[in-house]
Structure 1
Amino acid sequence: MKNIAVTVSPHRGKKYKLNKKRREALEGWAFVGVGFLLFLIFIAYPLIKNIMMAFMNYSVNPDKPSTFIGLANFKKAFFPGGAINESQKFYLSLRNTLLAVIVTVPFQWFLGMIIAIIIESLSKGKVLYRFLLYIPVISDWIVVAILFKYIFQDTRGALVNSILLSLHFISQPVSWLQNEWTGNIVIWALCIWKGIGWVMIMYTAAIQDLPKDIYEAADVDGASKRQQMWKITLPLLASRTYFIIINLIIGAFNIMLQVMLVTGGGPMGKTDVLLDYMYNKAFSSFDFGYAAALSLIMSVILIIISTVQRKITKDVEIQF
């Protein structure tokens, strides 16, 4: 019997191992790569595509090619013309959006802040009151819209009309959702009611972070609770107030579901806001290029407001 010599390679059966530095680099690039890929797909590409659409007569029909039309979509928004005169609808929706910001933001901010300060000063029931006031924030928009449509009905038996009639503030039931200004008032009331709880929670967290030794020193000096609120609490909350107001402004510009579910933009589009108007132009009229132009206009307005507010409030920020 012949002897067969078998040569075994010294490298066979051994796994190639990366050193620690290379392994950490690969893991890091893997995490960054996934995040960067998601950023490109869901943020960068839609943003660039939206900017391109704003300068085009965009068509989703493959048999009808999209054409470049320059600033025509922006001209249609700002300058009157054509049989439909879209500029009138644009300015109406812009007016309603700005009014929503002017009305809802101060009320949400002030009431939420005062309620947070009052609840924090209580000795009992803090958690219960916060929970009850936060319920509107987590409530579904459809449920809340149905609730407001019900209590603001135009009949005598509706809750709001019944209360106003019993107090002799009105002599006839008000058609709240069928009139331009009363419809806007209902939408504003819904936004304020649903947003106060969020402001309250934000200020509650900020108040609990305030340094306690300042209040102890104020107590020693004989400062009253009211004096402490005006001289200590409110100035120390200035930096948090900037963040809260910016978010409230952005939220007010994003009003859409309130209009669609409560008034539907009626009567005759008189309660339309920018997002509601933009949505209808895109998915009802299929004018995607014009809707994209409206989104860019809205973005520029938000950037300007944020920049101006930042310059106004930069000297009042207090770190602690």
Structure 2
Amino acid sequence: MISKDTIALQTKPKNRKFKKQHREALEGWAFIGIGFLLFVVFVAYPLLKNVQMAFMNYSVNPNKPSTFVGLDNFRKAFLGSGVLNESSKFYLSLRNTLLAVLVTVPAQWFLGMILAVAIEAISKGKVLYRFLLYIPVISDWIVVAVLFKYIFQDTKGALINSILLNLHLIKEPIMWLQNEWTGNIVIWALCIWKGIGWVMIMYTAALQDLPKDIYEAADVDGASKRQQMWKITLPILASRTYFIIINLIIGAFNIMLQVMLITNGGPMGKTDVLLNYMYNKAFSSFEFGYAAALSMVMGAVLIAISLVQRKITKNVEVEF
């Protein structure tokens, strides 16, 4: 006969195993539950609330009820009407945003890549050059925006005007921040200057992972540095380039602080971008429903760009 002690010894490990599995399952569900709760509170609910607001004349005043207006907020953006004609302001901010993407993204990508290759090719001072180029990336947006605002002042003593006058490239100081296109140029220049260092670091890390034997074979075959750049380096770094360009496009669409701190949308809203225009509508004019509709339009534009980019680079396998 089997004694009670023997039965107890046989069942004890099974009970311990069951309790351990039960405890691990509870811990796993606890972590998942916390993550899911945070997702619902900070992502899902705000997203659904934004969609709801886009179809309403939304009011934060509890004494003034919000009313359903259907597609009126979208008509206001796309179809010109009324004295203020908000559609012209919307199209202007959309144009400035798309121009910022078209100007800053290629410039940051090309200059950052060239600097990464050039620094990698030198034998001394690599760390110093990388550090100096990366300083703008870690600098605060407010600090560099104020710095650019003073550099591009419209007086003779301002740095840029002083240099151009001394080189006899201009006869009178340029009013950089008082004109539509010069104001946009200053904003674009700031974005390019601040983003080059990040691209340079990304390509530097990628270049250090490249196999050296390929370049040794290319040297033996008599390939020049330019040929190696276009025929070997860029094709191998295609997946990294895809990753970098996606992040640059997302960053270009998020331009707002630069505009607010340098031109504040002036003159007469000519340098407004989508985020800046949306912010002013929400927190200056308190048109939260219209601002929510604009955010949905911006999201649709980003999705469309992503789909086009994905189609163009469908054969590129992203590895990072």
TM-score of the superposed pair, with normalisation by structure 2:
0.92
User: 1:205 and 1:176 mapped to 2: Cα distance?
Assistant: 37
Give the corresponding residue for 2:57. 57
Secondary structure in 2 aligned to 1:187?
A: helix
User: 1:237 and 1:19 mapped to 2: Cα distance?
Assistant: 50
Give the corresponding residue for 2:41. 41
Secondary structure in 2 aligned to 1:19?
A: helix
Give the corresponding residue for 2:164. 164
CA offsets, 1:139-162, max 9 Å, x none?
011110111111111111111101
In the alignment, residue 237 of structure 2 is paired with which amino acid? L
User: 2:97 and 2:220 mapped to 1: Cα distance?
Assistant: 48
Give the corresponding residue for 2:283. 283
User: 1:46 and 1:131 mapped to 2: Cα distance?
Assistant: 39
User: 1:179 and 1:219 mapped to 2: Cα distance?
Assistant: 51
User: 1:226 and 1:167 mapped to 2: Cα distance?
Assistant: 33
Aligned 8 A contact 2:242 2:318 in 1: no
Secondary structure in 2 aligned to 1:210?
A: coil
In the alignment, residue 19 of structure 1 is paired with which amino acid? K
Superposition pairs for residues 102-113 of structure 1, below 5 Å? Answer: 102-113=102-113
Count of aligned pairs between the two proteins: 305
Out of 143-152 and 18-27, give the one that drifted further.
18-27
In the alignment, residue 59 of structure 1 is paired with which amino acid? S
Bigger fraction of residues in helix: 2
In the alignment, residue 179 of structure 1 is paired with which amino acid? N
Secondary structure in 2 aligned to 1:161?
A: helix
Residues 300 and 318 (structure 1), Cα distance of their counterparts in 2 relative to 1, 3 Å cut: closer
In the alignment, residue 116 of structure 1 is paired with which amino acid? A
Residues 63 and 111 (structure 1), Cα distance of their counterparts in 2 relative to 1, 3 Å cut: same
User: 2:314 and 2:126 mapped to 1: Cα distance?
Assistant: 33
CA offsets, 1:245-291, max 9 Å, x none?
11111111110000000001101111000000000000000000000
Out of 41-50 and 235-244, give the one that drifted further.
235-244
In the alignment, structure 1 residue 85 sits paired with structure 2 residue 59: no
CA offsets, 1:188-245, max 9 Å, x none?
0000000101111111111122223322322333333222212110111111111111
User: 1:228 and 1:279 mapped to 2: Cα distance?
Assistant: 47
Superposition pairs for residues 221-236 of structure 1, below 5 Å? Answer: 221-236=221-236
In the alignment, structure 1 residue 177 sits paired with structure 2 residue 192: no
Secondary structure in 1 aligned to 2:21?
A: helix
Out of 238-247 and 186-195, give the one that drifted further.
238-247
CA offsets, 1:10-67, max 9 Å, x none?
xxxxxx9662211111111111111111000000000000011001110000111111
Aligned 8 A contact 1:93 1:271 in 2: yes
Aligned 8 A contact 1:55 1:68 in 2: yes
Secondary structure in 2 aligned to 1:229?
A: helix
In the alignment, residue 118 of structure 2 is paired with which amino acid? I
CA offsets, 1:69-113, max 9 Å, x none?
111100000000012111010011011111111111110010001
Superposition pairs for residues 260-275 of structure 1, below 5 Å? Answer: 260-275=260-275
In the alignment, residue 276 of structure 2 is paired with which amino acid? D
In the alignment, residue 287 of structure 1 is paired with which amino acid? E
Out of 207-216 and 60-69, give the one that drifted further.
207-216
Give the corresponding residue for 2:249. 249
Aligned 8 A contact 1:236 1:318 in 2: no
Superposition pairs for residues 1-320 of structure 1, below 5 Å? Answer: 19-317=19-317
User: 1:236 and 1:159 mapped to 2: Cα distance?
Assistant: 42
In the alignment, structure 2 segments of 5+ residues that lack a partner are 1-14
Residues 78 and 141 (structure 1), Cα distance of their counterparts in 2 relative to 1, 3 Å cut: same
Aligned 8 A contact 2:240 2:319 in 1: no
In the alignment, residue 220 of structure 1 is paired with which amino acid? V
Identity over aligned pairs, percent: 82
Aligned 8 A contact 1:90 1:274 in 2: yes
User: 2:131 and 2:38 mapped to 1: Cα distance?
Assistant: 36
User: 1:52 and 1:73 mapped to 2: Cα distance?
Assistant: 12
User: 2:228 and 2:199 mapped to 1: Cα distance?
Assistant: 21
Aligned 8 A contact 2:243 2:318 in 1: no
